[in-house]
Structure 1
Amino acid sequence: MSETVTRNVPTATSADASSEAQPGDQSVWQIDLFPADGIPDRLAEDVLADAADLGLPADLKIKAARTFLVQGSISKEQAQEIANRLLVEPVVEHCVVAKAGSEVLSEIPNGFDRLINVMPLPGVTDPQAESALGAIKGLGFDASAVRTVKKYWISSLDDAHRETLTQKLLCNDSIETIVEGTLQLDRLDLGREYEFKKTLVQIAELDDDALVAISKEWQLSLSLVEMKTIQAHFVSLDRDPTDVELETVAQTWSEHCSHKTLAGRIKYQDENGTIEFDNMLKETIFAATVQIREDLGDDDWCVSVFKDNAGIVKFDDQYNVAFKVETHNRPSALEPYGGANTGIGGVIRDTLGTGMGAKPVCNTDVFCFADPDTPFEELPPGVMHPRRIMRGVVSGVRDYGNRMGIPTVNGAVYFDDRYVGNPLVFCGNVGILPKEMSFKEPQPNDLIVSIGGKTGRDGIHGATFSSAELTEESDITSGGAVQIGNAITEKMAMDVLLKCRDEGLYTAVTDCGAGGYSSAVGEMGEDIGAEVWLDKVPLKYDGLSYTEIWISEAQERMVFSVPEENWKRFEAICAAESVEATVIGRFEPTGNLKLKYKDEVVSDVSMAFLHDGRPPVIREAIYESKPATELAFDSSGRDFGADLCSILGSLNVASKHWVIRQYDHEVQGGSVIKPLVGADNDGPGDAAVVRPVLDSRRGLVIGNGMNPHFGDHDPYHMAASSIDEAIRNCVAVGADPKRIAILDNFCWGHTDRPATLGSLVRAALACRDLSVKFQTPFISGKDSLHNEFSYTGEDGDRHTISIPSTLLISAMGQVDDVATCVTMDLKSPGNLLYQIGLTKDELGGSHWSLVSETSGGNVPQVDIDGAIATYNATHAAIKSGLIRSCHDLSEGGLAAAVAEMAFAGGLGAEIDVAGIEVEAANVDLARLFSESNSRFVVEVTPENQADFESAMNNVAVVRLGKVTDGDSVTITSGDTTLISEPLSKLKSSWQKPLDLA
């Protein structure tokens, strides 16, 4: 290389500040906020609760405070006024105000040993500080900077325990730093003025090893073949690439942006022969949707699929709806709060950037964690405790959605110890847009306009990082890939976007997500060309290089294509809402992507090379089926009641109310069926129902399906069951099975291994087959590969933990009239209970087999013809008012479903399973706990019995029993009582495991 790139991280220590000229009258005031007398110290209590998980001493004491550092031409009296008027809540807090570093702040209370300050690293987004600075200026005070700090006074600990406390609980090295003792800060300003230097990367003569080294050292995540392709391209141009050109290619070719593995060439082999794919995704999932749309003909209700940031389908005569689900796994592993926070923020921007902009109406989320009770000493090195990850992820999604005023209405939480190094975070958003605004097309000579957040170093290499394996050192090497979001900034950007959309002021919009401006501008201008003026981009602080500006994934930014004659009006609307809008370039019809910094060209790459020049990824994929083994188990004398309580209390079945109740479900006023339903609003609803248009009774239904344990048996049937479950959940509340769209999210391990890729291809084949037969088109999707964690164990060997192969299927259904929808809770004593659908001997991968630690058995399969008949008949019966309540049979089978319906409604149930025909060695075991697909339990009034049974004439249905006014669930098989448990015990078993409030 002719030059090296140095990315200096600005600091804010007094030593750094002393080397520069100080503003004459600038002071830094420290405002400490403490709980008032008699008010619990919640910040300290949360740390102590987590400390117990880490095995820290039981007598540990912690005292905590929230701190604001305020810099400006401000007197002591003014600092006190700022505290009183803006920062302290006098009913529950009191404050101490003093100059930073003063003696009054340095005292350590009796019983404590030391003071630890935790503050964001310089450049990390600090939303509280940003809001406080704006408010302080709004009151007329001359403030120039604000930073937040969390202060902890701790009792005496030995060095090992203190390191555990600080590094595992108090501070996340990816985004925070620790300062012990009194803060000696006399300046908060960030950054240094950037000294421009154009950097060339001399790659023409490099050998293979050197090319691989560049890819690794620069975190480009490019293969040798890709690096050699880049090398050959620039040799053909008779020049070397600049650093930003190399980075741009890496962002565009990343797995996250181009899906190069799944959209590549794959030779797949299984017991049925060989299939050679030129583009596996296109020939499976995409092909299914193409065929469905052809089958529908003039009745095609898909609008835009696999083209835009989200898929779009028809809703009514005025509106279409968009749906997208993203993954944000690796950032959430390093910084759970920020990773999940920006995951939900990013997917909201996906729908905002779909078509000409869709208004978000609801959020979804699905999380996968290791057991939150995992002993600390059993964790691999370099991973956070699962409980800390879970708390951080949930609060990250909660805060962003609630602050933006978007209800979070549906989701799930899954647990498996194989997620210990790689938690999975799926975030989804549904938006609605006028049907005539479903497409966009940037025009030559339009201005490139950026609005929303400023650009900083946060999120650099996020797109390429998503293709990298996590290790115990990822928090050090990839900490810059973590972003921190600011929901208020995004809410303001959303408001101006929708206003500008309705005035027709732009021709195209997209979100600035993975890859930053590199992806946003590069994709929007693919068919035209673009010239970008990087020195015009608004920055959070000085010192960013042109490359950092270009690839930063700083949050809350949207990019527009604005005709020049509309710019003044566009700018005025943004200014009226205090949203920064900046022209950063123009779409030039050159076919090239040209970047300038202060009028000097730092990059000039053809769009053709960026988007079509990537060498095809060619993979070998092999799948070897596992022979089914019998469920070696004797059920005689088995306590099925204890088994049912164990299933209800298992983490994957247990109530997620601790998560759900942190979300706002009512905001926007369109929620019809919430995540929790029933007499006390604490039963597990099957799917959410929302009205996106408040003067209409037409509704959207949101559900999902996922069961990684089935994948341990056969990924084909795992994928099939996930699709069936997602559809089943929607039908259970009233959705029309002929109008359900689905999304796929594949999260897999290293697909460089033929067997791992083979399992993914097999799942994709199931997606194709089931989608076509159910006539449920895929409209969008996202994959996340290489979800593995590697570390060096105490034995000195290298160990790798791969996640279970995980496929999330999200479903969006529709209902003509939300008044016809039903919930799963039992309604009235005396009503009849029926099972719809066939039960089979399918306990392989079931929750009964997990709690009983029994292996073998048949994994559930999908009888598609039977499922279609069942769903059509059930939907017609619900729409006709023949069904009072309906619950799908999934985790835990029939016994769990009836128990959930009973305690959700506060009513008893008496059922006899002898009428359920099933061929199995352990017949009653299969009747109770089989997880066969495509089944429901429904409640029917005696008055509707004849009409209901007539409506079910062509499907498998059996009358089970009745609803009682008792307080127990009794399940018999003829004269034999299999289960008789009080509702209180069943409900307590279900609620207790994750009752973390």
Structure 2
Amino acid sequence: MLWEIDLHPRHAEDDRAAAQLVADAADLHWDEPLQAASARSYLVQGEALNAESAEKLAGELFSDPVVETAIVAPIGDASLHATPQRLEASENAQLVHVLLKPGVMDPVAQSAEAAARDFGLEIDAVRTLRKYWIAGEDSSKLSEEKAQQLATRLLANDAIEQVVVGPLPFDRLQLGGDYKFEIRTTPIRELDDEGLMRLSREGQLYLQLAEMQTIRQLYTDMQRDPTDIELETIAQTWSEHCSHKTLAGRIAYKDENGERQFDNMLKETIFEATQHLRRQWAKDETQDDWCVSVFKDNAGIVRFDDQFNLAFKVETHNHPSALEPYGGANTGMGGVIRDTIGTGLGAKPICNTDVFCFAPPDTPPESLPPGVLHPKLVMRGVVEGVRDYGNRMGIPTVNGSVFFDSRYLGNPLVYCGNVGLIPKDKSFKEPQPGDFIVAVGGRTGRDGIHGATFSSAELTSESESLSGGAVQIGNAIEEKKVLDVLLAARDQNLFTSITDCGAGGFSSAVGEMGEELGAEVWLERAPTKYAGLTYTEIWISEAQERMVLSVPEEKWEAVCSLCESEDVEATILGKFEPTGRLVLKYAGETVADLSMDFLHNGRPPVIREANYKPLATKPISLPERDNHNDDLLNILGSLNVASKEWIIRQYDHEVQGGSVVKPLVGVASDGPSDAAIVRPVLTSRRGVVISNGMNPCYGDYDPYHMAASAIDEAIRNCVAVGADPTRIAILDNFCWGDCERNETLGSLVRAALACHDLSIAFGTPFISGKDSLNNEFSYAGPDGKKETIAIPPTLLISAMGQIADVASAVTMDLKQSGNLLYLVGNTDDELGGSHFSLVNDLQGGRPPQVNTQSALQTFHAIHNAINQGCLAACHDLSEGGLAVAAAEMAFAGGLGAEISLAAVPAEGDSICATTRLFSESNSRFLCEVPPEKQQAFEAAMSEVAHAQVGAVNETDRLTISESAKRQVDCSLSELKAAWQAPLDW
């Protein structure tokens, strides 16, 4: 029997879901104002389930009787449809149900089902849903068509959810049918090139013609056709997401300096920079190679102290987040956490990071192309997804940023990062012949099918319906249980290797682990969420919270016992065998037999041409101003600079007790910190410093200088809080458009060249990275022609520094009236791509460039000054330049400041006041120095450009003057209000 349990808020003011619906409808300019009521509901099915047991579930398990009331009845009962009395328009309200589609992961239902069985109740299944009663504000009734439109736009995502207007049309839950085993083959040998590409596209393989031809030739030589699972395995392994074939491909690159041939562009730029540094360190006895494992595991590893190393990885989850923002971001965070858990023999996650790129949240709804979710809904879903995963796992989210540009409309970018702590002797792994292949964690379902190949494709207005299966839903509680088990098993030496089931599921995990050996897998043993999965679906599903271990046979009983103690499933799926082949079996029959060498080395190299033509530098025409008060307020109130407090406060950044410098600092803990500091070992005062750098606007001028500036910014953010510049490691995350276009690929190569040059110049190694290409959205325009929205070339640089003693850390908020203000670093005429240009809609100018020699000297000088205790506060100059940095320091500390532009160190006397205020030149810091430390500070700065530019005072104003003319004169309250207003949701 199927019972429905509806849980209603006791008071109308507690109905947050209804209030959110009304607010969202108003934001998106719905036809008329609405009123609404909501309930959260459970569907519970069981042959022996009666009214008494259903009431018991409602009262003792599902509801909070202090704030909720329950209605319990068999499905279809009229009492379940009655409009709540708290809704004024009760007689005209339209009932709308929103529930997950069959087969979509439902973590709440999964937990509820287990808890119900703990109650001793025999049940078959549980599902959750949301219910809404909606009417016009004047009590008018919505038609079924209008209700459906409203729900589709605001309440449900068609990728994973379905909408039912009126009573539910079923009396049983769909639990899946039995699978009838049948080996399927694809007749690839008979296909011509056009047929190959049709198969690639329609089968969601997303391989290129040369790759499809290589596969055809393999099976022609073997005199047989591939099974479906063999074809899928090759596609997963050769996908852009898994093999990085563009960055690692052969590229003929041409720019204004000539031509250059790359055999493997990634290895010859970013990888080579790190190897160059390590060769230098090996030759110099005074140098220390502190890299442990780079570019060969799930995350990069560097040395931390005598006992522990640090692992760091940042992933992208863009395409799934465009379709289903909550699930995409949720599993993006879950996936990168599993990356560090699966590094070496397992790292303990100690903190998370996140960086998002969205279209402006005030985008007019009527301007949205078909198939695009509104940016505000995307933003809220993404933030909630990251929030829920990190918070529920007990991992602090300590650093991040948000960037807005209309070109992210069809393709939001979601970067998720995780830092892990790993014992030095657990930093490497290697499966052994004869080891069991063991799956640990969640069960396998249809969620995440084709996720890896889907991530390699361009999004279109049809992606939601065609690729909805690529969306995954996470369960953070399950992953926390898995983490606890794995760390215990690691410390007991119960396995020899570990990796996560990321893109490609078991296909990638087992394929990568067994690359040097070989593996035999018994697919029918995999635990599934429901009946009916084919052997291919089991193999390529990206269902979440699963890890794969290689376990010696004699250790299996101990692993099994440990997993049982934490209610975590562990299953033997096969064995690693030294055959050099991947053999997949189902019910005793071989469904795949592939050479590991062909899988990992058989892909034909991608050979592409790349061109870059620099833009001509055009002078910028600066507006004439009596003062720059409005400019400063407008920049502070622009989306890219404005406070992200609405996001930050949703994250737990205190859990685990190691947070030292938080995301928000100052007297009211609402000033923007430059970087986060975490103490991962609570018995030690040594700290980890986390920061990032990114500014896509510079890429519109020159991607080389965009990349260089991002690296400089990430490093100087670390240095500003106290990190040692000789112990900073960085990660690259390239998000680009369609690199089939020569000029797009050319811009990517140019950015990679900058990464190579800056890494070597700063002595800062890259230790890991990730790329996400084809971030474009296509749709049919009003005239029926194809229109495409391409993201701006976007490079995120994440930095992980170290600080010897967290007690020496410095924050950016002003501390004491009478202290002196120093500007360190030269200001140049660099307003191209600046936020001053953005808010004033100006074109032209030169983007910020990096003088690596002076930058490195500046970083070391600032670090020495911090170690000597010379700085009370330090803030890097970035978005908005000097004026914004001074404003942020002042209102964060609740103290006024007076600054003179005449004293600003500048490249040339001709730089005007506007440029001195708002130039975004790199490698600069604004420092607060106590008078008694002035001499020591100036001695520390003796080799770099610096000048005293002002002082801290007890007023509530920031004044910045040029000679006798005040360019800025604003109260702290109006500065802070402008900064906090845009995202004060």
TM range (shorter): over 0.9
Give the distance between the partners of 1:645 and 1:164, measured in 2 at CA: 40
| Deviations, residues 853-877 of structure 1 (Å, cap 9, x unaligned) | 1111111000100000100000010
What's the counterpart of residue 125 of structure 2? 145
- Does the 8 Å CA contact 1:361/1:430 hold for their aligned counterparts? yes
What's the counterpart of residue 490 of structure 1? 479
What's the counterpart of residue 776 of structure 1? 764
- The yes-or-no answer on 1:877 pairing with 2:865 is yes
Give the 5 Å matches for 1:315-714.
Answer: 315-635=304-624, 637-714=625-702
What's the counterpart of residue 295 of structure 1? 280
What's the counterpart of residue 976 of structure 1? 965
What's the counterpart of residue 106 of structure 1? 81
Partner SS state of residue 128, structure 2: strand
The amino acid across from 2:726 in the alignment is K
Aligned-pair distance for 1:186? 2.7
Partner SS state of residue 61, structure 1: strand
Q: What TM-score results when the alignment is normalised by the length of structure 2? A: 0.98
- The yes-or-no answer on 1:40 pairing with 2:11 is no
Aligned-pair distance for 1:111? 4.4
Give the distance between the partners of 2:149 and 2:6, measured in 1 at CA: 25
Aligned-pair distance for 1:108? 4.0
Give the distance between the partners of 2:145 and 2:589, measured in 1 at CA: 53
Aligned-pair distance for 1:58? 3.8
Aligned-pair distance for 1:161? 4.4
The amino acid across from 1:40 in the alignment is D
Partner SS state of residue 625, structure 1: coil
Give the 5 Å matches for 1:70-219.
Answer: 70-72=44-46, 73-108=48-83, 110-155=90-135, 156-157=141-142, 161-219=146-204
| Deviations, residues 530-582 of structure 1 (Å, cap 9, x unaligned) | 00000000000000000000000000000000000000000000000000000
Aligned-pair distance for 1:774? 0.2
- Does the 8 Å CA contact 2:94/2:144 hold for their aligned counterparts? no
Aligned-pair distance for 1:798? 1.0
Give the 5 Å matches for 1:55-66.
Answer: 55-66=29-40
- The yes-or-no answer on 1:258 pairing with 2:234 is no
The amino acid across from 1:409 in the alignment is V
Give the 5 Å matches for 1:785-800.
Answer: 785-800=773-788
The amino acid across from 1:521 in the alignment is V
Give the distance between the partners of 1:164 and 1:270, measured in 2 at CA: 50
Q: How many pairs align? A: 969
What's the counterpart of residue 866 of structure 1? 854
Q: Can you give the 5+ residue segments of structure 1 that lack an aligned partner in the other structure? A: 1-26
The amino acid across from 1:401 in the alignment is G
Give the distance between the partners of 1:920 and 1:484, measured in 2 at CA: 58
What's the counterpart of residue 755 of structure 2? 767
- Does the 8 Å CA contact 1:116/1:151 hold for their aligned counterparts? yes
Give the distance between the partners of 1:150 and 1:879, measured in 2 at CA: 56
Give the distance between the partners of 2:83 and 2:781, measured in 1 at CA: 39
Partner SS state of residue 225, structure 2: coil
Give the distance between the partners of 2:561 and 2:814, measured in 1 at CA: 55
- Does the 8 Å CA contact 1:62/1:152 hold for their aligned counterparts? yes
Q: Which runs of 4+ in 1 moved over 4 A?
A: 158-161
Aligned-pair distance for 1:683? 0.1
Give the distance between the partners of 1:638 and 1:271, measured in 2 at CA: 42
More deviation in 873-882 or 136-145? Answer: 136-145
- Does the 8 Å CA contact 2:270/2:756 hold for their aligned counterparts? yes
| Deviations, residues 377-405 of structure 1 (Å, cap 9, x unaligned) | 01111100000000000000000000000
- The yes-or-no answer on 1:758 pairing with 2:746 is yes
What's the counterpart of residue 886 of structure 2? 898
Give the distance between the partners of 1:96 and 1:107, measured in 2 at CA: 10
Aligned-pair distance for 1:160? 6.5
- The yes-or-no answer on 1:843 pairing with 2:823 is no
What's the counterpart of residue 817 of structure 1? 805
- Does the 8 Å CA contact 2:22/2:33 hold for their aligned counterparts? no
| Deviations, residues 772-802 of structure 1 (Å, cap 9, x unaligned) | 0000000000000000000011122210000
Give the distance between the partners of 1:99 and 1:921, measured in 2 at CA: 81
Aligned-pair distance for 1:153? 1.0
Aligned-pair distance for 1:638? 4.1
Give the distance between the partners of 1:264 and 1:808, measured in 2 at CA: 21
| Deviations, residues 462-517 of structure 1 (Å, cap 9, x unaligned) | 00001110011100000000000000000000000000000000000000000000
The amino acid across from 1:873 in the alignment is A
Partner SS state of residue 334, structure 2: helix
The amino acid across from 1:132 in the alignment is A
Alpha-carbon spacing, 1:712–1:161, altered in 2? closer, same or farther (3 Å): farther
What's the counterpart of residue 233 of structure 2? 248
- Does the 8 Å CA contact 2:518/2:582 hold for their aligned counterparts? yes
Aligned-pair distance for 1:738? 0.6
| Deviations, residues 843-895 of structure 1 (Å, cap 9, x unaligned) | 00000000011111111000100000100000010011100100000000000
- Does the 8 Å CA contact 1:328/1:340 hold for their aligned counterparts? yes
Give the distance between the partners of 2:65 and 2:626, measured in 1 at CA: 60
Percent identical among aligned pairs is 63
Give the distance between the partners of 2:59 and 2:908, measured in 1 at CA: 73
RMSD (CA atoms): 1.0
The amino acid across from 1:289 in the alignment is T
| Deviations, residues 299-331 of structure 1 (Å, cap 9, x unaligned) | 100000000000000000000000000000000
Partner SS state of residue 914, structure 1: helix
Q: What TM-score results when the alignment is normalised by the length of structure 1? A: 0.96
Alpha-carbon spacing, 1:762–1:104, altered in 2? closer, same or farther (3 Å): same
Aligned-pair distance for 1:158? 5.3
Aligned-pair distance for 1:952? 0.8
Give the distance between the partners of 1:565 and 1:827, measured in 2 at CA: 61
Aligned-pair distance for 1:818? 0.3
Give the distance between the partners of 2:40 and 2:959, measured in 1 at CA: 53
Partner SS state of residue 14, structure 2: coil
The amino acid across from 2:702 in the alignment is D
- Does the 8 Å CA contact 2:94/2:147 hold for their aligned counterparts? no
Give the distance between the partners of 1:989 and 1:111, measured in 2 at CA: 45
Alpha-carbon spacing, 1:879–1:424, altered in 2? closer, same or farther (3 Å): same
Give the distance between the partners of 1:41 and 1:629, measured in 2 at CA: 55
| Deviations, residues 885-933 of structure 1 (Å, cap 9, x unaligned) | 0000000000000000000001111111111234376610111000000
